[in-house]
Amino acid sequence: MQTLVDNCQTYPGANRLVKGKTNQRIDLRSARTKPQLEVGDQVERHMIDGDLVLFNRQPSLHKMSMMAHRARVMPYSTFRMNGNEMNLHMPQTYEARAEMEALMTVSRLLVSSQASKPVNALVQDGLYGVRKFTKRDTFN
């Protein structure tokens, strides 16, 4: 974490530091000296590849509209997703990350809670591809 604090001018680094004892927020990009981390300090770091994020499709709050995804950072200033208004949330605690990974990742949301039916289904292209992959002597 100290490396992220020291590396505040470039990616990946940190933007702000919240001192644990005084709750003072320090903007690292404009700080004159690099502060030393102490136990209880909070580092607001940049998002990096592999971080879990929660996408929520407005206006609904049902289970299938809130899915956890692994982030892939690209050289753009905004996230890209086709569709309606989307909200992006990044968990701040280990408990929240564990809950998202266990309950909300796309691979865990295969059965609809409303009808107990599969959400993802094979269509002809996928079914035909699976048959070709599993056919004897395909890769010889």
Residue 25 placed within a domain? yes
Are 100 and 70 within one domain? yes
Are 104 and 56 within one domain? yes
Sign of CA dihedral 24, 27, 30, 35: positive
CA separation for the pair 56, 74 (Å, rounded)? 20
Task: Report if pTM > 0.85.
Answer: no
CA separation for the pair 71, 66 (Å, rounded)? 15
Residue 130 placed within a domain? no
The CATH number of the domain where 62 resides is what? 2.40.40.20
Residue 128 placed within a domain? no
Residue 132 placed within a domain? no
At 26, list the tokens.
Answer: 């320090």
Residue 123 placed within a domain? no
Q: With a cut of 50, which residues of the chain have pLDDT below it?
A: none
User: Could you read off the pLDDT of 27-66 as tens digits, one per residue?
Assistant: 998 888 888 898 989 988 888 899 999 888 777 777 777 8
Are 7 and 28 within one domain? yes
Q: 97 lies in which domain range?
A: 52-108
- What is the predicted pLDDT for the residue at 81? 66
Number of domains in the chain: 2
Residue 28 placed within a domain? yes
**Site of tokens 């990946």:** 12
Are 25 and 60 within one domain? no
- What is the predicted pLDDT for the residue at 66? 83
